[in-house]
């Protein structure tokens, strides 16, 4: 299916869309894009404080979406919610690697058991639905080679990665065995407006941005490490393109971003875009070092070749947009 980020939204005219984790960072940016095209959107979010849901994320379009405050672990509410939906963006998850090590059973419930429950609900009550699962680069663990493609061994270094891997593969299994049209995107360091910045549960970059805007230095651990970053609008493009394309069914795709930078370069660029600030170079904290993966950046040619997706927002522009947003709305994210 040939499409562009501009044309893909024509597929959603008159459709009904369900977004789990819909009040979170990526879910709210996705919802915003859809309501601009008169799509009927229902957001499901537990609003558990640790998981990133924030009602302010939809403050300026809350009258154009339906919000259901419930937990994806609740099979009864999900049974009701999936019925009649055309598309499901399955974004709800526990994202903190550290939390997953300290409370592995909760991570198992959300990232693994709840995913199986959602798929069973779809199989029984809406087998026609098309869905995309937000997976993570964390599944690869410490890379054997760079850039990392989808053929790379999966070797998660924390409980979160293991449970996300199971959640991802349940989606592929249900596609292959039951014909529930599903695919997965392995996201990497997604950033942008509405991200969680009050702690490092989503990404370290959020903490950097918060401290910068508060006029405090931020810490850079091992500045030689290389990473790639996906601006949230590019991630939304990929989600939209993947969920409507039959070429994506049963497939797993890496997302990525340009350019690849080391963390010192990223810190320097962030400060330059901000027009000032400071950072301190530090060694990795011991509890983080044990689950650190070293350098990582993705080979995203498979989704580029299959769906025509590529990252379009350069890092400097994405950082600028992000800083502008949080400078205006900082108090809603602390």
Residue 192, SS3 per DSSP: coil
Answer yes or no: are the C-beta atoms of 114 and 73 closer than 8 Å: yes
Question: What's the confidence (pLDDT) of residue 291?
Answer: 66
Give the separation between CA 67 and CA 60, rounded to whole angstroms.
14
What is the rounded CA–CA span in Å between residue 45 and residue 54?
A: 9
- Report the candidate in 121, 35, 34, 45 with the shortest Cα–Cα distance to residue 82: 121
Can you tell me which residue has the tokens 């393109």? Answer: 241
What single-letter DSSP state applies at residue 148? B
How many of the other CB atoms lie within 10 Å of CB of 7? Answer: 10
- Please tell me the predicted confidence (pLDDT) of residue 203: 83
205: which 2 tokens? 């970059």
Place of tokens 């990232």: 111
Kindly give the parts of the chain with pLDDT less than 50. none
* Residue 152 near residue 145, CB atoms below 8 Å: yes
Calculate ∠ Cα 40-42-43, nearest 5°.
145
Torsion of CA 308, 154, 29, 191, to 10 degrees: -100
Rounded Cα gap, residues 216 and 239, in angstroms: 35
For 8-191+230-257+298-312, CATH gives: 3.40.50.720
């Amino acid at each position: 299916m040939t499409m562009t980020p501009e044309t893909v939204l024509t597929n959603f005219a008159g459709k009904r869309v369900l977004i789990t984790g819909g009040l979170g960072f990526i879910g709210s940016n996705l919802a915003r894009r859809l309501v601009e095209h008169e799509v009927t959107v229902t957001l499901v979010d537990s609003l558990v404080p640790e998981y990133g849901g924030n009602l302010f994320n939809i403050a300026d379009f809350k009258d154009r979406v339906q919000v259901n405050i419930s937990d994806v672990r609740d099979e009864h509410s999900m049974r009701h919610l999936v019925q009649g939906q055309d598309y499901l963006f399955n974004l709800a998850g526990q994202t903190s690697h550290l939390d997953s090590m300290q409370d592995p059973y909760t991570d198992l419930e959300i990232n693994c058991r709840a995913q199986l429950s959602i798929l069973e609900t779809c199989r029984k009550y809406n087998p026609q639905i098309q869905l995309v699962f937000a997976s993570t680069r964390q599944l690869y663990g410490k890379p054997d080679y760079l850039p990392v493609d989808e053929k790379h061994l999966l070797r998660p270094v924390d409980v979160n990665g293991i449970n996300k891997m199971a959640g991802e593969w349940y989606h592929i299994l249900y596609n292959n065995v039951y014909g529930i049209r599903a695919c997965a995107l392995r996201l990497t360091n997604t950033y942008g407006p509405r991200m969680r910045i009050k702690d490092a549960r989503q990404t370290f970059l959020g903490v950097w941005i918060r401290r910068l805007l508060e006029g405090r230095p931020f810490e850079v651990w091992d500045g030689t490490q290389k990473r790639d970053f996906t601006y949230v609008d590019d991630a939304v493009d990929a989600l939209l393109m993947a969920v409507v394309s039959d070429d994506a069914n049963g497939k797993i795709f890496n997302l990525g971003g340009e350019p690849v930078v080391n963390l010192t370069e990223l810190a320097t660029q962030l400060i330059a875009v901000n027009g000032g600030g400071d950072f301190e170079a530090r060694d990795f904290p011991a509890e983080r070092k044990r689950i650190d993966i070293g350098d990582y950046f993705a080979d995203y040619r498979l989704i580029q070749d299959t769906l025509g997706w590529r990252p379009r927002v350069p890092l400097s522009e994405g950082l600028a947009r992000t800083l502008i947003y949080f400078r205006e709305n900082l108090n809603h994210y602390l």
